[in-house]
A and B are shown apart, each in its own frame.
Chain A
Amino acid sequence: MVKKNNHAAAAHDSHSHAHHELTFWQKYVFSLDHKIIGLQYLITSLIFLLIGFTFMMVMRWSLAFPGTPLPVLGRLFPADLAPNGVISGEFYNSLGAMHGTIMVFLGVVPLGVGAFGNYVLPLQIGAPDMAFPRMNMASYWTYLPGGLLMLASFVLPGGAAQSGWTSYPPLSIINPGQTVWLVGMVLLITSSLMGSINFIVTTLNLRAPGMSLMRMPLFVWSELVTSVLLLLAFPPLEAAAIMQFMDRVFHTSFYIPQGLVVLGMLHKASGGGQPLLWQHLFWFLAHPEVYVLLLPPMGIVMEIIANNTRKPPHGYKTVVASMCGIGAMSFVVWAHHMFVSGMSATLSNFFLVTTMIISVPSVAILTCMVFSLKGGSIRFNVPMLWALAFLPMFGIGGLTGLPLGLTATDIYLHDTYYVIGHFHYVVVTGSIVAMIGGVYYWFPKWYGRKMNDTLGYLHFWGTLACMNGVFFPMFIQGLAGQNRRYYDPTAHLHNLPTQPLHVVSSVSAWCLFLFQLPFIYNFFHSMFAGEKTEENPWKATTLEWACPSPPPHGNFEKTPRVYRGPYEYSLPGAKTDWAPQHVEAV
């Protein structure tokens, strides 16, 4: 389908073979190569995940042992944040708001989309790079300043945001620290928009000859749908953020109702605004955002499962259709986050129905994943363990979402620890588990060396156990009525019976951190001293394994031609149990 145009080739002769030496800055800092940019996103997002995790470890002290000074670190914090080493309510709220913001916008999405998407997607479709390399570079260099600004907010006047990552007005209008958050969000949204345009154009336009849409790996499909969600869902949040910025800085009243009373005094603003408007606009993005968190990891799980069962996965077309269905439906379910907000009951019913409908394609994908195992020759290597763990963990996360999607039960469970348990199961034991598996899986391609297996198994079992230790008790606490976002749960009598579970979660969280240390060591040590590996150590069929590890500038020596689908493992008549996409005769 791709024709050679001699005229165009001649016009670009002066550029194509000039091998000019790039400076250090051009090669490693402001690189235009999608692989370097992917690694930049990888390291940066992993660091942000660690930072967000650290915030949570501090918060967990306050939850487990409220009112007692934080050991060691307590004395290091300024007195206004932690008087006598005891974490104050405001500091707890800042840590909480920034934990959510950092994990979602600076951690999981840049990892799933910026890191994995940037590095792997062009390789999997046989492209020499992204469609717009300069915009790709700009996307990273807008993300990093946005992230640094978010972190810097802790030391800027007003401190960090402390109105939850959801930033509901009127609190977010009158609370300090929110303005920097809004500016940071605009930078992050800009970065995301640039990235999503790049991904969609690259996927639709730069596929190698023979790579039809239905021959693309499922990971590519997941990134395509994710990019469409990011492109169309983020601008409404940007507009909402602009209005909140106007409210804070120019004292408009987009979200301030008439007659708002703050601390016994009438808030001076023109009034006429509606807090509920923010909720609608925020969740209009934030619901598609959770599928942005979920879909690329699901794509990663499919890649790893196909490779390690040595058979085509079950239901390629079903998975593609389900991913597209999830993407489409995600735009009409958002208000299930708002059942108790005072929204009209008619609309609540509408969103209840759409939310129930959207669970169908999610279950379909999970079912295809499970059925893919049947009849496979399963290899239990480190990436496969993570991919297998995703299945029951996402099952728990998904099932616990059902009472939240049903209005009647959500009225009781909203803003309790049950919600926290649910979404951490899907994002942490689901998405992050899958992406860690992706790191182990693609590490040999990125660095030409394998990660250490023993440390990998240690990391896996410890992490899986501790993650469940942190989040499972939250379902029990939530059902018992324990409220979210309290720095001192013991302030309410009804929380006392489940207070010991906070200790369980906190100790598990601190142990979870300890189990990440072998991973961090393994990652950096293997980068330089890991066992060297060849082009295709996993014996995989997809195109990213058809070039050297790591691939050179331009990826493929000549543009590959694609002859078959992405998962032709155990093809009858083939000499090996894997039939690569780009090899004609197998």
Chain B
Amino acid sequence: MSSPSDIAAWQEPALTSSGVPNAKLGIWLFLASEVMLFSTLFTSYVVLRLGAASWPRGWVALNVPLAMVNTIVLITSSVTMVLAYAKVIEKDLSGFRKYMMATIGLAFLFLIFKSFEYGSHFTHHEYPSTSIFHAVYFTMTGLHCIHVIGGIIVNTGLLFMANEQFDHPLFAGRVEGAGLYWHFVDIVWIFLFPCIYLI
């Protein structure tokens, strides 16, 4: 008798009607919705900037060197994430742990640098309410940070899960899924950095 626990079996690509495992299809659908979320904010930024009489230049109003370092930090964490996934496929637990901890550590570093950035703004009495430029800056980078925090939580969860379930046939799929999310977070920043800081 088929039961919902058999649903897990459907994770196998061969058992799904489409050939794509459930979780992978699910994550891509989620990412599509997230693209819509961030695209709305980018669109709003364009609209507000087009309608503004003047707009401060990023290199004047913001800390570009720190943001560039942050960009490199996040890109590196994306690489360590895909290497962690590679280690799962190679069944190398200690390698997986090393690269996953690096990913999480780099994500924390990103947030630490971000907190320096925000702190510096607050010290100069620059808040979201100060101007429409600051509203856009804080809201877009803030929402991105929330997504970084989400990624840290998921990746930390996988790190602990590996203690018991590293050999589970579905574990590689879970790391792959988390990786897809993490690369998406990286891609958002790849666009956010030039659009907010450099143009």
Contact = CB atoms under 8 A, between A and B. Distances in A.
Physical contact A–B (CB less than 8 Å): yes
Main secondary structure of the interface of B (DSSP, over half): helix
B7 A131 contact: yes
Nearest to A272: B132
Interface stretch (A468-476, A480-488, A553-561): A553-561
Interface residues of A, number: 64
A161 to B, nearest CB: 21
Interface stretch (B20-28, B71-79, B82-90, B110-118): B20-28
B153 interface: no
Interface in A244-302: 246, 250-254, 269-274, 277, 281, 284
Contacts of A133: 4, 7
Given A197-B26, A235-B40, A128 B33 contact: no
B58 interface: no
Nearest to B24: A201
B127 to A, nearest CB: 7
Contacts of A2: 14-17
A15 B169 contact: no
B44 A128 contact: no
Interface in A221-247: 231-236, 238-240, 242-243, 246
B41 interface: yes
A272 B47 CA distance: 11
A224 to B, nearest CB: 12
A240 B41 CA distance: 8
Interface in B55-72: none
A11 interface: yes
B47 A277 contact: yes
Contact of A131 (B22, B127, B132): B22
Given A270-B130, A274-B47, A554-B1, A129 B26 contact: no
A422 to B, nearest CB: 28
B18 interface: yes
A575 interface: no
Residue with the highest number of chain A CB atoms closer than 10 Å, among B26, B32, B39, B130: B26
A72 interface: no
B95 interface: no
A208 to B, nearest CB: 9
B128 interface: yes
Interface of B: 1-10, 12, 14-18, 20, 22, 25-26, 29-30, 32-34, 36-41, 44, 47-48, 51-52, 127-132, 134-135, 139, 143, 169
The 5 closest A-B pairs by CB, nearest first: A272-B132, A252-B135, A239-B40, A235-B37, A235-B36
Given A211-B17, A253-B135, 10 more contacts: A32-B4, A128-B4, A128-B7, A133-B4, A193-B30, A204-B25, A205-B18, A239-B37, A252-B134, A272-B132
